[in-house]
Amino acid sequence: LTGDGAAAARYIEARLTKFALHVAYSPKVTQWQLSYDGRANEPLHLPMKFPMLLAMGVEGIAVGLSTKILPHNFIELIDASIKELEGKPFKLYPDFPTGGTADFTNYNNGERGSRVRVRAKISQLDKNTLVITEIPFTTNTQSLIDSVLKANDKGKIKIKKIEDNTAEHVEILIHLPSGISPDKTIDALYAFTNCEVSIAPLACSIHEDTPLFIGVKDVLKRSTETTKGVLKAELEVRLSELREQWHFASLERIFIEEKIYR
């Protein structure tokens, strides 16, 4: 949110949350390998029963390839998955954890060439103060403040000072000189700063070791099929366990009834 760096790459171990234990942890249908020090086993991959790729979003670049899948709303993903199972049409649009407003007119299912415009939420606190309480996705408070200061230096906007009171929630105060119109300043902030950004999604994923350029709807459909496959595998394992229990219980009963024991 504020632009602080992530933890060092050496922190490679993680503890699963209750939700992750429910939708991503199934030891009996998971492929395992030795950990980096050989003292424990670790999963090759987690058998995900939830479209985590769409929920979290991802951005990356490799040799000749790049991807930018935007995050989506948890409930909307569940509803879309249910509609997919029911054979009903569904719509799916990104939902940004940083808030703001977005124009999805040219979203085009997140495929190559699509565009999303995202704006910060700016309101007037008083006649000389503006407050930003939500910022566009792909920005942080520091980069947004830097863009405002840069626009002020270039004469695109006129501000007296800017304060960052962000803690749990975003709060950036922009103090205006006397006689400066708040409405015109808001328009200028959208035009000349990172208060409005344009995002170019590109849904590229790896399927069977091959890059695959598909829309987010197709990603959800594949995720739903994966979920069905994992659930089927879990049920087959459970059925095998129950059959084995029944088999041994039957043998035990026969041994007792026929007195085949010492």
Q: Which of 231, 221, 209 is nearest to 47 (CA)?
A: 231
pLDDT at 9 over 60: no
Distances in whole angstroms, Cα of residue 220 to Cα of each of 85, 88, 110: 11, 13, 12
Residues in a beta bridge with 131: 123, 173
pTM over 0.95: no
Instruction: Find how far residue 151's CA is from the centre of its chain.
Output: 31
User: What are 236's two structure tokens?
Assistant: 């087959």
Distances in whole angstroms, Cα of residue 133 to Cα of each of 70, 84, 166, 195: 21, 36, 9, 11
pLDDT at 10 over 60: no
Q: Sign of dihedral through CA atoms 199, 203, 209, 210?
A: negative
Which phi and psi angles does 256 have, rounded to 5°?
A: -70, -45
- Please tell me which residue in 11, 25, 36, 93 is annotated as part of the active site: 11
Asked if 113 contacts 97 with a C-beta cutoff of 8 angstroms, the reply is no
Q: Which of 200, 202, 198 is nearest to 64 (CA)?
A: 202
Average pLDDT over residues 68-76: 94
pLDDT tens, 241-253? Answer: 898 888 887 876 7
Place of tokens 């304060």: 163
Name the percent of the chain lying above pLDDT 90.
Answer: 61
Tell me the domains of the chain and their CATH numbers. Answer: 18-95+203-254 (3.90.199.10), 116-199 (3.30.1360.40)
Q: Is 11 designated active site?
A: yes
Q: How confident is the model at residue 24 (pLDDT cuts 50, 70, 90)?
A: confident
Helix-, strand-, coil-residue percentages of the chain, each rounded to 5: 35, 20, 40
Asked if 206 contacts 212 with a C-beta cutoff of 8 angstroms, the reply is yes
Which phi and psi angles does 199 have, rounded to 5°?
A: -115, 135
User: What are 37's two structure tokens?
Assistant: 């020090």
Place of tokens 């088999």: 247
Average pLDDT over residues 14-20: 82
pLDDT at 118 over 60: yes
